[in-house]
């Protein structure tokens, strides 16, 4: 298996050839890129059947204490995809930051957002919503989760 599986040359997801099945699928919206930390993070997003764009796998999250700096992640490749897509590629309209809701994931998302705002000011940069899980009780929610739910509230 190790001999057959490698990384996609476009998004760095797992692939059997030079490109993964998602990058090869012409029905996917190339104008929307979902940024995740690891290849395994693509699977839960795909299971929702809600996202029809493409992915970019970073290969981790920023963690200076663990020696993981920006040059250790696939950040430059992301910036290149967003700012100069190969012709006749669809221009990127939105980047969804779907890093984990951890300290390192949040730091990574903020780093990417800052860099993309500088490099590509016209592109929408969004973050996955966070808050209360469906079926939970308020009394069991921690303060951070409940606070995020309040910040992300929407009209009904």
Successive 10-residue mean pLDDT values, the chain, 156 residues = 83 94 95 96 94 97 93 96 77 95 93 96 92 83 85 80
Name the phi and psi angles at 137, rounded to 5.
-105, 145
What pLDDT sits at residue 85?
Answer: 67
Question: How are beta strands 53-57 and 29-36 bridged, if at all?
Answer: parallel
Q: Provide the 3-class DSSP secondary structure of residue 110.
A: helix
**Which pair of structure tokens corresponds to residue 140?**
């069991």
Tokens of 74: 């696939």
The per-residue DSSP string of 10-75 comes to TT--EESSSS-HHHH-TTSEEEEEEEESSGGGHHHHHHHT---EEEEE-SS--BGGGTB-GGGTTH
pLDDT of the residue at 45? 95
The pLDDT score that the predictor gives to residue 155 is 76
Q: All domains of the chain, ordered by start, with CATH?
A: 27-129 (3.40.1360.10)
Q: Which pLDDT belongs to residue 12?
A: 97
């Amino acid at each position: 298996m190790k001999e057959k599986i490698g990384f996609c040359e476009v998004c760095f997801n797992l692939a059997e050839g030079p490109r993964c099945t998602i990058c090869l699928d012409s029905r996917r919206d190339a104008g929307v890129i979902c940024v995740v930390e690891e290849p395994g993070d693509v699977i839960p997003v795909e299971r929702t059947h809600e996202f029809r764009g493409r992915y970019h796998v970073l290969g981790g999250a920023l963690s200076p204490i663990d020696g993981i700096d920006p040059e250790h992640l696939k950040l430059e490749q992301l910036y290149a995809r967003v700012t100069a897509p190969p012709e006749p590629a669809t221009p990127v309209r939105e980047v969804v930051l779907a890093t984990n809701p951890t300290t390192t994931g949040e730091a990574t998302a903020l780093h990417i957002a800052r860099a993309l705002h500088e490099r590509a000011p016209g592109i929408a940069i969004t973050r996955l919503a966070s808050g209360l899980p469906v079926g939970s009780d308020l009394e069991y929610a921690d303060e951070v989760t409940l606070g995020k739910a309040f910040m992300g509230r929407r009209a009904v």
